[in-house]
Amino acid sequence: MVESLVSFLIFLIVVVVVAGIVLWAVGRWFPEVYVPARYIVGAIALIAILYGLLGLIRGGALGLP
């Protein structure tokens, strides 16, 4: 149970860091597309996080009724 929770937290940190680096790069080199890129990168990061959370819940690591 603890292993899957820790692996999900590591996955969460990786997704947030990668999204931040992508947004920094877009803002630095392509400032005209920064606002739409925020929405696209945010949506992809949210989908990845929810998919990882789904695997965590399916694995039974969280005590849900």
- DSSP classification of residue 32: G
What pLDDT digit, counting tens, does each position of 23-65 carry? 999 999 999 999 999 999 999 999 999 999 988 888 766 655 5
Q: Where are the domains of the chain?
A: 2-58
Tell me which of 4 and 27 has the higher pLDDT.
Answer: 27
Tell me which of 62 and 3 has the higher pLDDT.
Answer: 3
pTM assigned to the model: 0.82
* Sign, CA torsion 9/14/15/17: positive
- Give the mean model confidence (pLDDT) for residues 3-27: 93
The full DSSP string for 37-57 is: HHHHHHHHHHHHHHHHHHHHH
